[in-house]
Amino acid sequence: MLMSASDITVINPLGTPMRGSTHVPGDKSISHRAVLFSAMAEGTSRVSGVLDSADVRSSIGAVRALGAEVSLEKQPDGSLAGGITGWGAAGPSQPEGPIDCGNSGTTVRLLMGILAPWPIRATLTGDASLQKRPMRRITAPLMKMGAHFEPAGQEHLPITVVGGGLHPITYDAPMASAQLKTAVLLAGMYANGTTTLNEPAPSRNHTELMLPEYGVATTAGERTASVTGPAQPQASEVLVPGDPSSAAFLVCAAVMCPGSTIQVENVSLNTARIGFTRTLERMGAEVSMSRTGAAGKEPYGIIEACYTPHLRGCEVPAEKIAGIIDEIPVLALVAAHAHGVTVFRQVNELRVKETDRLAAIIDGLAKLGVDAWCEGDDLYIEGQPDLAVPEGLQFDSLGDHRLAMTWSLVGLTGKVPVSIKNFEAVGVSYPGFLTDIERLAQ
């Protein structure tokens, strides 16, 4: 279904409906935490279902540089499984050089919290995209706890963490961010007392669900989480369920591709992660879920999606945005096919993701002849139910995996091919994306 020339990939229409069942790779957020928490733990943890992608490889490389022993092997399904022996109460080792976090914001931001309690110096850096992303939101609360960062007041990577001697805090976060929340909680595990973080809206709660699996008690409400230190994580056994953010692209493809009916199995149904299904339901899409089990405290199950010819615009309130922030690009594409206007409220966080996703969404939809615009921090999309994709379109992923997959759906579910620059960015989260979607159309 694709042809590549240099950095341009041609995505051809599927030609037939998507039908049947499939799996998606392990959840990226949970995979990061499984690697990082196991590295912090005393003893050897057993992990399975870990996503093998560029981002997770960044976390694996980072903890190795800090003294953890990682023995993960590729499984027949493409996942990683094996043992991780952590540094435990001895703490991380002084790294020999800078730690390269690649394109992974989760790796670098969580590492700041992990390193903050320990008397070492570690310089964190990343690729050109990661070096543009804001880090002050993480360093600010950690500095209140007693950590130091060099250069002082630095907003972007590279940043050197100078840790040691933390005290607990209660922190009112300026934005809903699971990365910010997790960094503060991980640092708070080594402070003497209770560290609490309050959020303006709910964010992903994987950390609060997973830390107790490592023997660290957490308390969590809808917009608050806390941990009491000192607390030393112990080795655990973790099974990583499928990634709902990856599943979202298959689900949205089925909704837009005539005649399609698919099931995505063994995918995380964590309520903080399946907001995209609620948005699709508000658009009138035929989407349903059924729980089949749990991995620790993480529920998993099946998401079923069917082609829906009559979609309608909807409004997504600001308090729901944190739960769908990674899926907004593909939801915006679905909204482009809906009758009426769809509004995503307060989406300014899109401006500081792997790229400026907000500008990229508006520019990409304009190529389709769809009106999309911002009013303040709100994104408006005026859908076209009979959207006809013009021939010869070329999109630029801007090195962003979510944008690469989103624009590929224009070609896959449409009637004419599209070209995508730097499509290989999908390797950050879902290397087998095209293979999986094409298999459903055979």
Yes or no: say if 200 and 176 are a contact pair by the CB < 8 Å rule.
Answer: yes
Q: Which of 52, 55, 100, 326 is catalytic?
A: 326
Binding site, by residue number, is: 28-29, 33, 105, 133, 177, 179, 326, 353, 357, 402
Interacting residues of 376 by C-beta distance below 8 A, sequence separation 6+: none
Cross-strand partners of 9: 4, 420
Residue 33 tokens read as: 């935490």
Distance from C-alpha of 59 to C-alpha of 201, rounded to nearest angstrom: 27
Binding site for 3-phosphoshikimate, by residue number, is: 28-29, 33, 177, 179, 326, 353
Binding site for phosphoenolpyruvate, by residue number, is: 28, 105, 133, 179, 357, 402
127 labelled catalytic: no
Q: What is the length of the chain? A: 442
Distance from C-alpha of 327 to C-alpha of 374, rounded to nearest angstrom: 18
Instruction: Specify the 3-state DSSP secondary structure of 125.
Output: strand
Among 126, 118, 117, 110, smallest CA distance to 159 is for 126
Distance from C-alpha of 13 to C-alpha of 171, rounded to nearest angstrom: 49
Distance from C-alpha of 185 to C-alpha of 107, rounded to nearest angstrom: 15
Distance from C-alpha of 203 to C-alpha of 222, rounded to nearest angstrom: 8
Distance from C-alpha of 442 to C-alpha of 439, rounded to nearest angstrom: 5
Catalytic residues: 326
